[in-house]
Chains A and B, each alone.
Chain A
Amino acid sequence: ETGVTQSPTHLIKTRGQQVTLRCSSQSGHNTVSWYQQALGQGPQFIFQYYREEENGRGNFPPRFSGLQFPNYSSELNVNALELDDSALYLCASSWAGRGTQYFGPGTRLTVL
């Protein structure tokens, strides 16, 4: 059984740029959720994708967008990067949009 994987591991961008983060869900899971974890904080829910459609969104602006593909992998896109976007971005997979979420190792984004 393959766990949740994320790429890249680390990323450095400058303010105003755009970034794409990628996530592959655990085998057998069809739902992917994205979280932002600022330093010293708990993860904050960004949005969830289920069957290739957004299935819930947290309090994040529209410049945070996502996609889910037929193989259930997912992308998180952030446009017009701001310094406060610097954080660990976590992807979690689950079954049918509910229940236990299993997390990947995260992508550390630094915005300069």
Chain B
Amino acid sequence: AQSVTQLGSHVSVSEGALVLLRCNYSSSVPPYLFWYVQYPNQGLQLLLKYTSAATLVKGINGFEAEFKKSETSFHLTKPSAHMSDAAEYFCAVSEETGNQFYFGTGTSLTVIP
């Protein structure tokens, strides 16, 4: 079965600082990888996805992620944090032909003014 590990359940950054949220996956086959964001009392919104095209994926709101097969990682970054980025972020993986998404436990991002 697939699994996802998100290192750091809580991350705090200053406004304008680099955001780095870590995600590692275990998969025996090339996976599909996703980052979702969840604001309080809301569902999940897709930020970006990797589906075996370019290894550097650009998403919405200035976020991007790089797929590194050798490190089985898919870390999420944003050059400059904004107050509105404060939310819960989830990394998810599925197999290419899979129907089930496996989610990490999430990282809560706090942005300090």
> Which A residues fall within an 8 A CB radius of B?
4, 6, 31, 33, 35, 40-45, 48, 50, 55-56, 58, 90, 92, 97-106, 108
Contacts and interface: CB of A to CB of B under 8 A. Distances in A.
Contacts, number: 62
A99 B31 CA distance: 11
Interface of B: 4, 32, 34, 36, 41-46, 49, 51, 90, 92, 94, 96-106
B101 A33 contact: yes
Nearest to B100: A45
B44 A55 contact: no
A100 B57 CA distance: 15
A58 B98 CA distance: 12
Contacts of A4: 43
B44 A103 contact: yes
Given A90-B43, A100-B46, A42 B106 contact: yes
Tell which of A40, A41, A42, A106 has the most Cβ of chain B within 10 Å.
Answer: A42
Contacts of B102: 45
